C-alpha cells in the first residue's frame, strides 16, 4: 500500500540532503542534479516493489555465457595500482540469462573480476539450483547482498536479470521502478574514466592529449590515475602536483577533473595534495589512501574534514554490500559512495545509494567494464535521487560498444536509457560467436 508523504519531514530532509550539492558551482558539478521529491499530492514508496502486484512467474533455467575480446597491442594498458608492471591484454564479460515459465527472459551482467570461469561455475552449481522454481518478484529474499566479491558476484548478474524480468512483466523500465520519490530522468550525466595509458611513462603529456580528445568528444569531466606505481616510477608528490597543474591549464578552468588515487598515497602525500586540489577545483578525490585496516576510516574522516569544495569518494573497489558501507556512511567518512551493480547487484546498490542519501551524501556508481554493467548501473543512476555522475570507462573495449542490437548512445556527456520495459536492451544474436571466450586472466606481466 502506498503511503502519502509527510510535508514537514520531506522539506527538512530535502534541505539537509541537498545542501551538499549546492557547495559547488553548476559549472564544476554539471551532473549533480537537484532531483527533488515528488509533490505532496502524489504518493511515495518505501521500496521499488511497493504497490506492485506480484505476478505468478517461476524461474525455469539459468544460462551463463562468457565473452572475451583481445585488445590490440597499442590499446593494452598497465595496472597502475600495483608495483608489478602487469598489462591488461584482454577484456571479458559475463552474460547471465534467466528464463521463466511465462516466456519472459531477463539478462544481467557480473563483473569479471571474480574470474569468469569461476563465476560461471558458481552460478551453475550454487545459484541455479537455489532459484529454479522461485519467483523473481521475491528478489530481496533471493539475490540481495553479495557477501564478498569473487565467484559470488554471480548473484549480481542474476539480481539484474530479475529486475529485467520484473520490468518486462509490468511493462515499466527498471529505472522507473527504482525511483521511489523522484521523477527519474533517462538522460544520465556521465564522466570519462581513463588515464591508464602509461606505456613509456610519458607523463603528463599523454593525459593532456587524452583529456583534450575526450573534451572534444563532448565529455565535461575526466577521471585519471596516478600512473605507474610510485614505488617503481619514483614519482614524488611535488612533481605530481606540477603535472596535474599542467593538465588543468591545458583543459581550461571549466572542464571537470577527478583524481583517482588507487589508494597509492600515504597520509602525508594526501595532505600535501589537498590544498592544490582545491586551487585546481577538482570535482572529487577518489580512494586517496589505504582503504582497509584499523585506521582507514579515521584517516578518511580526517581527509574529508580537510577538504572544503573538493569532494571525497570511496568504496567502488572494496565495498561489496550495504553492511560494508554502513558505518562509513553513518560516520560521514566520505561525500560520495560508489556502489557497482556488477559487483553487489542492482538491489544492493540501490540500498547503498538510499543509505547515503539519508545522510546527505551523493552517489557516483562505479562502472568500469562493458555494456552489460553499464546498462544495469545506468538504470541505478537514473533511479536514485542523489546521483552526481555515472562512470564511463574509455579504454578500448568492444564489449562496451558492440553487444546490443541497439547500442547505448553517449552524447555530449550524457547516456540516454531506452524507454522500454525492463533494461530495454537485447543482446545481438550469436554473440558468443562474435566474442568467443578466451580462458585465462586479463592481466599478464610486462615482458622483460
pLDDT score, position 302: 98
Classify domain 175-428 at the CATH class level: alpha beta
C-alpha cell at 440: 585465462
- Render pLDDT for 192-214 as a digit per residue (tens, 0 to 9): 999 887 665 688 999 999 999 99
pLDDT score, position 20: 32
The whole model's pTM is what? Answer: 0.90
Q: What is the DSSP string of 230-295?
A: HHHH---HHHHHHHHHHHHHHH-TTSEEEEE-TT---HHHHHHHHHHHHHHT-SEEES-S--SSTT
pLDDT score, position 144: 74
Does domain 59-172+440-445 bear CATH number 3.30.390.10? Answer: yes
What's the whole-number mean pLDDT along residues 43-51? Answer: 86
What's the whole-number mean pLDDT along residues 219-236? Answer: 92
Using CB atoms within 10 Å of the CB of residue 7, give its burial: 0 to 12 exposed, 13 to 18 middle, 19+ buried. exposed
Q: Where are the domains of the chain?
A: 59-172+440-445, 175-428
What's the whole-number mean pLDDT along residues 72-80? Answer: 89
Which is nearest to 332 in space by CA: 307, 349, 369?
307
pLDDT score, position 431: 97
State phi, psi for 350 to the nearest 5 degrees.
Answer: -60, -45
In this prediction, residue 448 has a pLDDT band, given cuts at 50, 70 and 90, of low
What's the whole-number mean pLDDT along residues 86-106? Answer: 96
Rounded Cα distance, 209 and 105, in Å: 43
- Render pLDDT for 385-436 as a digit per residue (tens, 0 to 9): 999 999 999 999 999 999 999 999 889 999 999 999 999 999 999 999 999 9
pLDDT score, position 30: 54
> Over 70: is that where the pLDDT of 2 sits?
no
In this prediction, residue 32 has a pLDDT band, given cuts at 50, 70 and 90, of low
Amino acid at each position: 500500500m502506498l503511503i502519502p508523504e509527510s510535508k514537514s519531514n520531506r522539506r527538512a530532509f530535502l534541505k539537509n540532503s541537498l545542501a551538499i550539492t549546492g557547495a559547488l558551482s553548476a559549472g564544476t558539478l554539471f551532473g549533480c542534479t537537484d532531483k527533488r521529491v515528488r509533490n505532496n499530492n502524489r504518493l511515495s514508496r518505501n521500496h521499488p516493489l511497493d504497490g506492485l502486484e506480484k505476478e505468478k512467474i517461476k524461474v525455469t533455467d539459468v544460462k551463463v555465457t562468457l565473452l572475451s575480446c583481445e585488445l590490440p597491442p597499442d590499446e593494452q594498458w598497465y595496472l597502475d595500482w600495483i608495483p608489478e608492471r602487469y598489462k591488461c591484454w584482454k577484456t571479458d564479460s559475463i552474460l547471465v540469462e534467466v528464463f521463466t515459465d511465462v516466456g519472459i527472459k531477463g539478462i544481467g551482467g557480473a563483473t569479471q573480476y571474480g574470474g569468469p570461469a569461476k563465476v560461471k561455475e558458481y552460478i551453475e552449481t550454487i545459484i541455479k539450483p537455489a532459484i529454479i522454481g522461485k519467483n523473481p518478484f521475491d528478489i530481496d529474499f533471493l539475490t540481495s547482498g553479495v557477501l564478498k566479491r569473487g565467484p559470488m558476484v554471480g548473484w549480481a548478474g542474476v539480481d539484474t536479470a530479475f529486475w529485467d524480468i520484473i520490468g518486462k512483466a509490468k511493462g515499466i523500465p527498471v529505472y522507473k521502478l527504482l525511483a521511489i520519490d523522484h521523477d527519474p530522468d533517462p538522460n544520465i550525466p556521465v564522466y570519462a574514466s581513463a588515464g591508464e595509458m602509461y606505456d613509456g611513462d610519458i607523463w603528463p603529456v599523454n593525459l593532456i592529449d587524452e583529456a583534450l580528445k575526450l573534451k572534444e568528444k563532448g565529455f565535461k569531466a575526466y577521471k585519471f590515475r596516478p600512473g605507474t606505481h610510485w614505488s617503481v616510477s619514483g614519482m614524488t608528490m611535488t612533481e605530481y602536483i606540477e603535472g596535474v597543474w599542467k593538465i588543468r591549464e591545458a583543459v581550461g578552468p571549466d572542464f571537470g577533473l577527478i583524481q583517482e588515487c588507487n589508494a597509492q598515497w600515504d597520509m602525508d602525500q594526501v595532505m600535501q595534495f589537498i590544498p592544490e586540489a582545491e586551487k585546481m577545483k577538482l570535482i572529487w578525490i577518489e580512494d586517496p589512501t589505504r582503504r582497509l585496516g584499523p585506521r582507514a576510516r579515521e584517516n578518511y574522516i580526517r581527509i574529508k574534514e580537510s577538504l572544503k569544495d573538493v569532494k571525497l569518494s570511496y568504496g567502488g573497489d572494496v565495498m561489496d554490500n550495504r553492511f560494508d558501507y554502513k558505518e562509513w556512511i553513518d560516520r560521514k567518512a566520505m561525500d560520495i559512495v560508489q556502489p557497482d551493480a556488477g559487483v553487489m547487484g542492482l538491489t544492493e546498490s540501490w540500498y547503498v545509494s538510499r543509505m547515503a542519501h539519508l545522510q546527505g551524501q551523493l552517489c557516483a556508481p562505479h562502472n568500469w567494464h562493458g555494456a552489460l554493467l553499464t546498462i544495469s548501473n545506468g538504470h541505478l543512476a537514473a533511479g536514485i535521487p542523489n546521483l552526481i555522475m555515472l562512470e564511463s570507462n574509455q579504454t578500448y573495449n568492444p564489449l562496451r560498444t558492440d553487444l546490443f542490437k541497439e547500442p547505448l548512445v553517449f552524447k555530449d556527456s550524457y547516456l540516454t536509457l531506452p524507454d522500454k520495459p525492463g533494461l530495454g536492451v537485447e543482446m545481438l544474436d550469436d554473440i558468443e560467436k562474435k566474442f568467443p571466450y578466451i580462458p585465462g586472466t586479463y592481466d599478464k606481466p610486462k615482458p622483460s
